[in-house]
Structures are given as structure tokens and as C-alpha cells.
């Protein structure tokens, strides 16, 4: 990455304007050409330096219900329980974390009822308790990773 790549990446992480020619707006701010902004963004995307470029949608606004759930899984059963949990298509993300509650996953469903039934099914199949931590308030979602 050269200096201009870094400037473009840092600037566009913060959100680009909605306008007919947004890359011209960015180019003016960074004192370069629209063509440079477009080429460099395309290259960064192709190269995998960007995982995506475009509108970030709030999943909840698209309809549906979400929760963060956690379990305390005995180490000797970890693989087996991972299989049980991951088999649910409604489980979007699942992470092993270093804590007594060592499995944390996001459940994404069409409705609250479906969330409750997925949780119940996981409890039945694993014979373990599932802790349910639905969001009560969202303060921020986003991330700025300066390069």
C-alpha cells in the first residue's frame, strides 16, 4: 500500500457521501483524481485488503430477530456441542472464547419465537443451558481501523 492507498482507505472507512459522483467528492478532499480513487479501491477489493465496499445494512432493520447466546461447554464435549450448535442454519457466528462461558454465538431468525425455539432445541440436544443475551440498547456498531 502506498501513501495514497492508505489515505483513501482511512477516508472511505468513515463513510462516503451519497451523491451522483461520490468518488469525485473523495478525490477533491484528498487532492487526487477520481480515477485514482476508483482504481485504488477496485484494486484493494480485488486484492482482499477490503472485505467489502458499499452500504452497511443494519441486519435488524431488514426484518428478523437476533440474539447473542452463550454456553458453558465441558472441554471434552466441545467438538460434539460445536457440531450441534453449528448445524442450525439460524446460528450465524460462533466463537470459542476463553471464559467459563466458552461458546458464544449469534442466532438470527425471522421472529423472536423462532429464537426461543432454536435455543430450546439446542438445550435439548446438548443437555446444557443456553444463556440468552438479547440487545437492550445499541450504542454503536462500526469500526475504524486506521492503516
Binding site for another protein (CB under 8 A): 9, 12-16, 18-24, 34, 38, 41-42, 44-45, 48-59, 61-63, 68, 70, 82, 85-86, 91-99, 101, 103-105, 108, 131-145, 147
Reduce the DSSP state of residue 133 to 3 states and report it: strand
Reduce the DSSP state of residue 80 to 3 states and report it: helix
* 31 versus 136: smaller Cβ distance to another protein: 136
Query: Closest separation between CB of residue 42 and another protein, Å?
Result: 5
* 124 versus 135: smaller Cβ distance to another protein: 135
* 83 versus 117: smaller Cβ distance to another protein: 83
Reduce the DSSP state of residue 70 to 3 states and report it: strand
Task: Give per-residue burial for 16-37: e unless 16+ CB within 10 Å, then b.
Answer: beeeeeebbbbbeebeeeeebb
- HSE value, Cβ hemisphere, 13 Å, CA-based, for 42: 7
* 31 versus 52: smaller Cβ distance to another protein: 52
Query: Closest separation between CB of residue 124 and another protein, Å?
Result: 19
Per the listing, cell 432493520 goes with 61
Amino acid at each position: 500500500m502506498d501513501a495514497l492507498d492508505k489515505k483513501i482507505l482511512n477516508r472511505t472507512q468513515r463513510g462516503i457521501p451519497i451523491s451522483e459522483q461520490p468518488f469525485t467528492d473523495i478525490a477533491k478532499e484528498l487532492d487526487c483524481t477520481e480515477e485514482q480513487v476508483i482504481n485504488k479501491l477496485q484494486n484493494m477489493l480485488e486484492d482482499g485488503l477490503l472485505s467489502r465496499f458499499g452500504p452497511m445494512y443494519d441486519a435488524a432493520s431488514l426484518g428478523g430477530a437476533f440474539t447473542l447466546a452463550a454456553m458453558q461447554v465441558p472441554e471434552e464435549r466441545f467438538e460434539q456441542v460445536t457440531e450441534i450448535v453449528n448445524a442450525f442454519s439460524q446460528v450465524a457466528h460462533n466463537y470459542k472464547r476463553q471464559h467459563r462461558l466458552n461458546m458464544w454465538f449469534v442466532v438470527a431468525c425471522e421472529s423472536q419465537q423462532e429464537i426461543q425455539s432454536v435455543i430450546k432445541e439446542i438445550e435439548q440436544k446438548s443437555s446444557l443451558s443456553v444463556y440468552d443475551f438479547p440487545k437492550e440498547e445499541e450504542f454503536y456498531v462500526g469500526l475504524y481501523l486506521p492503516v
